[in-house]
């Protein structure tokens, strides 16, 4: 097996993606996520990425490294494995329309064969060309390796924790020193994307908020819906 975290070099691509728009609701609820509709135009084609059978259950304003953004969460319409730790599709989009990241945590991706490192890298590059082309000129590929995400599921009336694994393509933007990555799922589609991640070298931990991570939301007392 190839050694982990092998630097592969710097790749440059100068492609500009076409964008489409959708309406993202504004909310005055502060730190709670509320389901509502209309007003802000965003350049991320959300409908191309929301899994079939999912519906929005909430949204809320957030701050990412001091920048205003909005977190939106979608869960299965059939209510399978809803709530923190369960199946969901979540997005973080900056106030200026830039996609900061999304996560697709889906039970249907568990226990299936992953793409090869080469295949995952090709899928990641295609995604970046379309959704974040500004990251490519200064991109340095750090490593490609399997990555696990936790998932809570209920089967036959019993709750259990399973592991959702994808192939993570981790990269650094040499222009600003920040990290970004694409995790490709077993269905050969992007499962997780995060960008502009600030890392604190000492004592060695992530500085950027983890709005796409349920465990972090729970630890910091953030709710999904209005009380």
- Specify the higher pLDDT residue, 84 or 47: 84
* Residue from 120, 71, 80, 123 nearest 100 by CA: 71
Q: Is residue 193 part of a domain?
A: yes
∠ CA 194-71-18, rounded to 5°: 60
Q: Is residue 126 part of a domain?
A: yes
Give me 225's structure tokens. Answer: 């819906």
Q: Which band of pLDDT confidence, cut at 50, 70 and 90, is reported for residue 226?
A: very low
Q: Is residue 26 part of a domain?
A: yes
Q: Evaluate if residue 17 carries a pLDDT over 60.
A: no
Q: Is residue 225 part of a domain?
A: no
Q: How many domains does the chain have?
A: 1
Task: Find the helix or strand (DSSP H, E) in which 92 lies.
Answer: strand 88-94
The answer to whether 185 touches 193, Cβ cutoff 8 Å, is no
Measured between alpha carbons, how far is 148 from 163 in angstroms, rounded to an integer? 6
- Over residues 131-159, mean pLDDT: 96
What percentage of the chain carries pLDDT values higher than 90?
Answer: 71
Q: Is residue 2 part of a domain?
A: no
Q: Is residue 226 part of a domain?
A: no
Q: Which domain holds residue 158?
A: 9-219
The chain-wide mean pLDDT, for the chain, equals 83
Q: Is residue 95 part of a domain?
A: yes
- Over residues 152-160, mean pLDDT: 93
pLDDT of residue 20: 28
Q: Is the pTM of this model over 0.95?
A: no
pLDDT of residue 25: 32
Instruction: Specify the residue for token string 């319409």.
Output: 77
């Amino acid at each position: 097996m190839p050694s982990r975290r092998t630097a592969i070099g710097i790749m440059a691509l100068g492609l500009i993606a076409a964008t489409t728009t959708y309406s993202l609701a504004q909310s005055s609820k502060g730190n709670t996520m509320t389901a509502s509709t209309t007003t802000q135009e965003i350049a991320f084609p959300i409908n191309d990425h929301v899994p079939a059978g999912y519906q929005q259950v909430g949204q809320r304003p957030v701050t990412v490294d001091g920048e205003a953004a909005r977190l939106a969460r979608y869960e299965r319409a059939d209510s399978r494995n809803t709530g923190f730790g369960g199946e969901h599709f979540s997005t973080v989009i900056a106030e200026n329309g830039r996609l900061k990241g999304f996560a697709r945590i889906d039970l249907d991706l568990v226990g299936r064969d992953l793409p090869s490192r080469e295949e995952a890298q090709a899928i990641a590059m295609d995604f970046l060309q379309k959704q974040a082309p500004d990251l490519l000129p200064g991109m340095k590929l750090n490593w490609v390796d399997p990555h696990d995400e936790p998932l809570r599921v209920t089967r036959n009336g019993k709750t259990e924790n399973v592991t959702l694994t994808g192939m993570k393509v981790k990269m650094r933007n040499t222009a600003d020193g920040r990290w970004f990555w694409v995790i490709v799922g077993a269905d050969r589609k992007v499962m997780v994307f995060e960008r502009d991640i600030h890392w604190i070298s000492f004592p060695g931990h992530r500085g950027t908020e983890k709005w796409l991570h349920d465990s972090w939301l729970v630890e910091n007392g953030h709710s999904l819906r209005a009380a």
